[in-house]
Amino acid sequence: MNIFDIIGPVMVGPSSSHTAGAVRLGNAALAILGESVAEAEIGLHGSFAQTGRGHGTDLALLSGLMGWATDDLRIPEAHNYAKEMGLHYSFININAGDAAHPNYVKIELKGRSGRTSVVAGASIGGGRVIISEVDGFALEFTGDFPTILTLHEDRPGAVAEVTGILSKRGVNIAQMRVFRRNKGGLASMVLETDQSVDASDIAALKGLAMIRSVRFINAIGG
């Protein structure tokens, strides 16, 4: 634990969990989509649904989807800026089940090019977040580090091929986890790195035969 876990991030208030954390969830969803957002349907669960508007959660999520940081002074006017940018959005209340965190959100996005993505996660306090689902695939990462997400065939040597390429290109892996639905099916690697990864590194990973997709999420603001 460091001092920022105790006092929270630099932010526009009022709440580190309902406001700053919500901005970071929006930041993560934007990074995963990989382009400007044209349409967003935002499902709020639990405390986010019940008290979110009073804490500015709707403003914060929109701000994150526009790429703003937690301390951006435009956050209170996020609805107006979204309208000016042509970002069409809706908020709905959802029930994600008893196991879901009270500050859980599911964000369905469509980008300017027509690309789509679905991202789910929760704000867990002090501005920190956990992303728990990407496009229907259960996984877990925090966004505290630059992060590579793969979708790949679950076969022997897949992990070694990916880590081997990163090693040769001088990318140091801080943490790595593998998630899969079933043996021999599709799996996802979450690789958190010590440094940003450039486009040529991602292209090298995409060239591997077992890779279906690769996404890179730079460390999200906090």
Q: Is the pLDDT of residue 116 over 60?
A: yes
Q: Is 177 helix (H, G, I), strand (E, B) or coil?
A: strand
Residues 6+ apart with CB under 8 A from 162: 150, 152, 189, 191, 205, 208, 211
What is the 3 state secondary structure string of 36-65? CEEEEEEEECHHHHHHHHHHCHHHHHHHHH
Q: Is the pLDDT of residue 69 over 80?
A: yes
Q: Is the pLDDT of residue 8 over 70?
A: no
Complete DSSP assignment for 59-101: HHHHHHHTT--TT-TTGGGHHHHHHHHT-EEEEEE----TTS-
Fold of 147-217: Alpha-Beta Plaits (3.30.70)
**CB contact at 8 A, 24 and 143:** yes
Residues 109-129 have a mean pLDDT of 95
Quick one: pLDDT band at residue 55, thresholds 50, 70, 90?
confident
Q: Domain extents for the chain?
A: 3-135, 147-217
Q: What is the mean pLDDT of the chain?
A: 90
| pLDDT > 70 fraction of the chain, expressed in percent and rounded | 91
Read off the tokens for 97.
């089940």
pLDDT of 16 reads: 58
Quick one: pLDDT band at residue 113, thresholds 50, 70, 90?
very high
Quick one: pLDDT band at residue 13, thresholds 50, 70, 90?
very low
CA 194 to each of CA 37, 116, 125, 148: distance values in angstroms, whole numbers, following the listed order: 28, 28, 24, 11
Q: Is 193 helix (H, G, I), strand (E, B) or coil?
A: strand
pTM for the model: 0.87
Residues 169-182 have a mean pLDDT of 94
Considering the segment(s) 3-135 as one domain, its CATH architecture is: 2-Layer Sandwich (3.30)
Read off the tokens for 154.
């679950």
Q: Which residues of 201-213 are buried (b: 16+ CB within 10 A; e: fewer)?
A: beeebeebeebee
Of 10-19, 128-137, 149-158, 207-216, which gets the smallest average pLDDT?
10-19
pLDDT of 15 reads: 56
Q: Is the pLDDT of residue 218 over 70?
A: yes
Compute, in degrees rounded to 10, the torsion defined by CA atoms 158, 163, 168, 172: 170
